[in-house]
């Protein structure tokens, strides 16, 4: 399967797992659309503006000594536009309405950006499931005798002078 199809599959996964996300776009750092799933927004214009914002974000992090660009969040009256680095040559942009949980938006956006970066660089096999798609590991078996933290691990002696009778 082509990389573009896998990137589009990731964009659709993002929209499916967060109903408040109304559009997603993967673009190159120079503003070219790689893949999109956004019905109500002109993707070419958003990709070009994302590239401009990316340049400003990179310059700001350089001047402030904040390291390389990771993400940018813009809040408008009707919602959010979040842009995440997707490797050195691409970005992921999510458009969400104002009811979105911003913490979850960041979690899914960072995860999606990382997956897209891996897809674009060939480091991530397309058939390998995401961490979130894997079954949860089996819980560890309970200890044979219930103990609190460190109880029973060390002998406890209370000196006679510190004992009090109530």
CA 87 centroid distance within chain:
13
Residue-wise pLDDT tens digits, 71-107: 999 999 999 999 999 988 899 999 999 999 999 999 9
Mean pLDDT for 50-71 is 87
pLDDT at 123 over 90: no
Is residue 49 helix, strand or coil?
A: helix
Residue 93 is given by DSSP the state E
Give me the residue label for tokens 């078996």. 141
Domains along the sequence of the chain with CATH: 3-130 (3.30.450.30)
Higher pLDDT, 147 or 114: 114
Instruction: Work out the pLDDT band at 162, boundaries 50, 70, 90.
Output: low
Q: Distance between CA atoms of 9 and 6, rounded to whole angstroms? A: 5
Instruction: Work out the pLDDT band at 3, boundaries 50, 70, 90.
Output: confident
Give me the residue label for tokens 């897809």. 119
The verdict on pTM exceeding 0.75 is no
Is residue 12 helix, strand or coil?
A: helix
Mean pLDDT for 106-130 is 79
């Amino acid at each position: 399967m082509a990389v573009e199809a896998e990137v589009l599959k990731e964009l659709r996964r993002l929209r499916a797992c967060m109903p408040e996300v109304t559009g997603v776009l993967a673009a190159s750092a120079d503003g070219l659309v790689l893949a999109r799933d956004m019905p109500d927004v002109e993707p070419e214009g958003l990709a070009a503006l994302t590239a401009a914002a990316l340049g400003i974000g990179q310059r700001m992090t350089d001047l402030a000594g904040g390291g390389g660009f990771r993400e940018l969040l813009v809040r408008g009256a009707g919602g959010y536009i979040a842009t995440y680095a997707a490797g050195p040559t691409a970005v992921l942009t999510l458009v969400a309405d104002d009811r979105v949980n911003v913490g979850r938006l960041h979690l899914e956006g960072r995860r999606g950006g990382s997956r897209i970066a891996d897809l674009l660089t060939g480091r991530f096999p397309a058939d390998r499931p995401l961490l979130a798609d894997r079954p949860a590991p089996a819980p560890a078996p309970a200890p044979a005798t219930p103990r609190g933290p460190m109880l029973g691990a060390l002998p406890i002696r209370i000196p006679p002078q510190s004992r009090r009778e109530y």
